[in-house]
Amino acid sequence: MKSLNIGIIGLGTVGCGVYNVLRAFDEINIKKIAVKNINKKRNIENLDESLLTQDAYEIVNNPEIDVVVEVAGGINPAFELLTAAIKNKKHIVTANKELLAKKGNELFSLAKANNVVILYEAAVAGGIPIIMPIKTILCANKLTKIAAILNGTTNYILTKMAEKDLSYETALKQAQELGYAETDPTGDVEGFDAAYKIAILSTISFNKKVDINKIYREGITKITANDIKSAKELGYKIKLIAMGQVTDDGRIDVRVHPMLVAKKHLLAKVDNATNSIMLSGYPVGDLVLTGAGAGAEPTASSVVGDILVLSSGLEHSQCPVPQAVCNHTEFADQIPIGETYNEYYISINASNNPGVIGLVGTICGKNNINISTIMQKGINTDNTAEIVVITEKSKESDIQNALSDLLKSESIKKIDNLLRVMN
């Protein structure tokens, strides 16, 4: 391997993991580490504090540094810093999914123009190797579908809601106390984090640029203990699924939302904070990769792996990982959610009147929706009843029309939830 000089921007959860794992690799010399607060106590034994700086430009402008490892996160100042580093002909290793999903186009074009590469194995699913396999050994394939659990925090919350009959709020609070969720959990529970990751995965799988702003996104905050219970009774678990697929007419359907996943499905067996990615394509068929999607050590496995790939590649060539050069020129034609087809779970709060089930059936029928299961779940103290419907595959816009027709009837009090179903 070629001896490499690197600079690391960020020494938090991932940065500390990377520093500790790199101790085993003498050929990688850490020249500088940038942090925000130089006086903070770090989770590192015998840290060489002379390496620390509060000025990340000391890294990106340092002529001795070959590779910039960005594990700070966010858009600013990461975008400006990596732009400067690339213009200074430094290769990049980053774990920053938000930056790549929002600014990847600019960064990859700039990297190509400057003959450097950006490696980002850790940006999607932490310790699970997925970026390099898609870019290298799976390149003989036409990949057509990704279905994945890409956010450990939401998977942990949904698992605990199901295991312990907890409300969303209680499960979130427990996840925060145990360090699985951040104090401000928005990025995870509203599906932003999973959307960044599926944008990256879909772009490299389908070879077209996916626009993060066109990804349909729903989080898990509206999932109730009742939904989890009904799903269980019907033979499903609720999971936050990130999905990307090529439709029959060649468009790309990319979205993130909770789904009822049939208990026999491999993704339904993935619990707690674990991540899992199911890829389908020709000729490989279906593949499932499962493992730790976050955490200092699993994420360091991917970051350090990228650094070592660069180190061995640079021994032979100035372009160390040619497969990492981004050649996507075309934007994907992304399908709006209204045009997608899914099976649905609809939870309806209705008056306990005779004929109400018939009414639901008639309105679904009028909107081209076939029902596969319908059940009434007891009577509430206010003389309303919860009706749960599972539909056959239907068009999303038909479902939305049916919901608004249902709400026009006096017998229907409210639609408690609408979720999509994966069998």
Catalytic residue ranges: 197
By beta carbon distance, the residue nearest ligand NAP is 12
Beta carbon of residue 124, minimum distance to ligand NAP (angstroms, whole number): 8
Least distance (Å) from ligand NAP to the CB of residue 194? 12
CB of 97 to ligand NAP, least distance (A): 6
**Rounded to the nearest whole angstrom, what is the least distance from the CB of residue 38 to ligand NAP in the complex?**
7
Query: Under the rule (CB under 6 A), what is the footprint of ligand NAP?
Result: 9-15, 34-37, 40, 56, 71-73, 77, 95-97, 122, 126, 294-295, 299
CB nearer to ligand NAP: pick between 296 and 309 = 296
Of 121 and 343, nearer to ligand NAP (C-beta) is 121
Q: Of the two residues 126 and 313, which places its CB atom closer to ligand NAP in the complex? A: 126
Q: What is the CA radius of gyration of the chain?
A: 24
Closest contact distance (angstroms) between CB of 292 and ligand NAP is: 9
When the beta carbons of 54 and 362 are compared against ligand NAP, the nearer one is 54
